[in-house]
Structure 1
């Protein structure tokens, strides 16, 4: 890939949950870009972001409801939109923005189901426009090291991969407290979370997925499992509940200033509860998932996601014709309950998770002593990926040097977004049917 030209100019933010803050700060820090509008149905949440803009020295901007999105693009002369709303709604903004000739940057996942993905790809083909998908893990220096090591042929042809992802009982539980707990909103963890990892494998191996088989279950969270394992508590949401005060899985919004402002103070407008009981009935996503993937290159992958682990991080093992490469990242060695440990690092992405561990990359060549490769790792902001991604996408902030090496070439487009999504969609279908699923069955116009 060639280095990406910086995005920016007159930018509108679509959706004002916690993730939008990273983009707002990054845009305001760069003189070549400015936030000129916010599209958000909740006026209280939008007001919080206008206060954030002013605290950063930027002016207050007009707020538009979703049904005025097209009018906003024209009236505010928007050059780019940053889409950070609920995953299942991304297409409602991506498609009209492309049709209006406006650049689109969207949080992963690009969307959540086959039909929406088809419509997005068809719009790209029809308009000649493109999408930037923010797979920030590509910009993590440790992941770059893995990419270079494989590309340089140090383990030969990659034959198989094992990827184990562990979410702890603070971060992992968070997907079962909020809108992500319904697959209609998020696509489940196979789409919303594992899409990061499926994209990494596609990118690391420079290949595309072909066939998936998978098993998934709600084995720890939810009403039935909660009662079976003795964790269940009888409340709907934590705010105002005495029972929740005794629940180590509960989150208390008032303990975090930003969570209180964005969610607790804003719920009177839309009724959205950010602090729901993770052992309540009606949860529609899985918490334990096993996946097998076959790729065009001939490589295979076994992948396992656990959302209720005592520690957080991931292990990836590459087996090649000349040796083996092992990546181990311990983002948090252990966690105290959310009430005791706090949610700052998790929610804002500006600090390391509590009790941070190490990152190692080990090269095992056939008939040679193992070699520990030198790593550069930052536990905050997706292993340092967030800051580097912003620098590549929007250009360097004042005082920063431009990225001219690996990171400058790592942007992901709509095709990358669709291929990462495809693995999650095939896994979800395999959960449902118990059968192998081929990417051709998705009929994506790739």
Structure 2
């Protein structure tokens, strides 16, 4: 029997999920309703369903009718794609109404909301899954396999540098993510992927977290230093912004125009805010030290304004060392222009045994995003369940542990002190 799905939050990430159900999983999934604060955006999602996926339009509900939607449409599973700070609200209500939940990462943005979700799962007995697509990327799965099989022995330390370039990195400072209350900052919204990967790779959990950083590149306070000669709050209608490499033009992209610019009149959300404008409360330069429960330690850094995008990571173990470099093509979320010139996608895993010759590890990729990882995630979510030796499906516990590293980091940024993760929530 097909499961009945409803989706709340029809912004840039939503089509990845509803498009897959409409295109590839009609035998197992029935997409029955959209929910959002913005009717124009839901109407556009229905247009895409009809024109791109040959799927009939489905009923739409404003967010204040979320409960009514679940009851009317007899939903089995709710997919939560809203602004991060509202995830907990819809997750908890869906659980209480008898549904299971699939939520985009991060599961939520702070310890209090995390505890509320944990308590609701205990109370209702229903399930929450978090969509960590990075786990399914072949190079990330290969790293887990290498560590699991003891190739470099027991891992004692990890150095993890994540680079966001001036297309993708800047985009977090144009959107609602720039307000830390909305997103939890990059340590929660973005780094949850990376912290989850380390938990996944090392099969452990964070114990103590210390963080430092701040807003060093973007923001009004840094505009003059960056050579900005004219201040504006958003790009649309501003002549100066047409030549600003940090601006995005919504009217020049039909998808962004339909999803955001045309929908502004309903909810006031501006998708093209200036990265050097006022109101930015998140950091763009971050460093974190984590000690894990298995005694491994990690040095982690994130910078959101670099000339390339990807990560460099090294694992130091009792039998040798693993060096990984992944240079990714950059993008702007939800239909923005790619700029691939001079940005080749490269992936390498190099093993340096303690007493032996170094060698490269082959990475076998498939079709689809993230080296074929995205289709694997979608099949795991919406297809027929299969045995997975790597246990890539992420539960609410995985979702909580990943964000708690970032939440602890945010608390450390405020206090200047190291934070014990176990002090934040009770499972």
TM-score range, shorter chain: over 0.9
Task: Kindly provide the CA deviation profile for residues 406-445 of structure 1, in whole angstroms up to 9, marking residues without a partner as x.
Answer: 46x3100111011001000010011111111111321x12
If the length of structure 2 is used for normalisation, what is the TM-score?
A: 0.95
The corresponding residue for 1:362 is 350
| Secondary structure of 2:334's aligned partner | helix
Q: What is the alpha-carbon root mean square deviation over aligned residues?
A: 1.9
2:25 to 24, 27, 30: 30
| Secondary structure of 1:229's aligned partner | coil
The corresponding residue for 1:210 is 207
Deviates more, 1:254-263 or 1:176-185: 254-263
| Secondary structure of 2:74's aligned partner | coil
1:279 to 252, 276, 281: 276
1:384 to 362, 367, 372: 372
Aligned partners of 1:19, 1:276: CA distance in 2, in Å? 19
The corresponding residue for 1:445 is 426
Q: When the two structures are aligned, how many residues end up with a matched partner?
A: 423
User: Does 1:347 pair with 2:334?
Assistant: yes
The corresponding residue for 2:48 is 52
Aligned partners of 1:294, 1:232: CA distance in 2, in Å? 44
If the length of structure 1 is used for normalisation, what is the TM-score?
A: 0.91
Cα distance change of structure 1 residues 10 and 179 upon mapping to structure 2, 3 Å threshold: same
Question: Cα distance, 1:377 vs. partner?
Answer: 3.9
Aligned partners of 1:140, 1:315: CA distance in 2, in Å? 16
Task: Kindly provide the CA deviation profile for residues 48-77 of structure 1, in whole angstroms up to 9, marking residues without a partner as x.
Answer: 001111121211111111111111111101
1:432 to 411, 414, 418: 414
Aligned partners of 2:227, 2:135: CA distance in 1, in Å? 39
Answer yes or no: is the 8 Å Cα contact 1:238–1:244 preserved in 2: yes
Task: Kindly provide the CA deviation profile for residues 105-157 of structure 1, in whole angstroms up to 9, marking residues without a partner as x.
Answer: 00000000111111000001111112000011011111010000000000000
Structure 1 unaligned residues grouped into runs of 5+: 1-6, 336-342, 397-401
- Map 1:147-162 to 2 at 5 A: 147-162=144-159
Aligned partners of 1:275, 1:315: CA distance in 2, in Å? 30
1:263 to 235, 260, 272: 260
Answer yes or no: is the 8 Å Cα contact 2:253–2:335 preserved in 1: no
Runs (4 or more) in structure 1 with deviation over 3 Å come to 348-354, 377-380, 402-407
Question: Cα distance, 1:351 vs. partner?
Answer: 8.4
Cα distance change of structure 1 residues 84 and 386 upon mapping to structure 2, 3 Å threshold: same
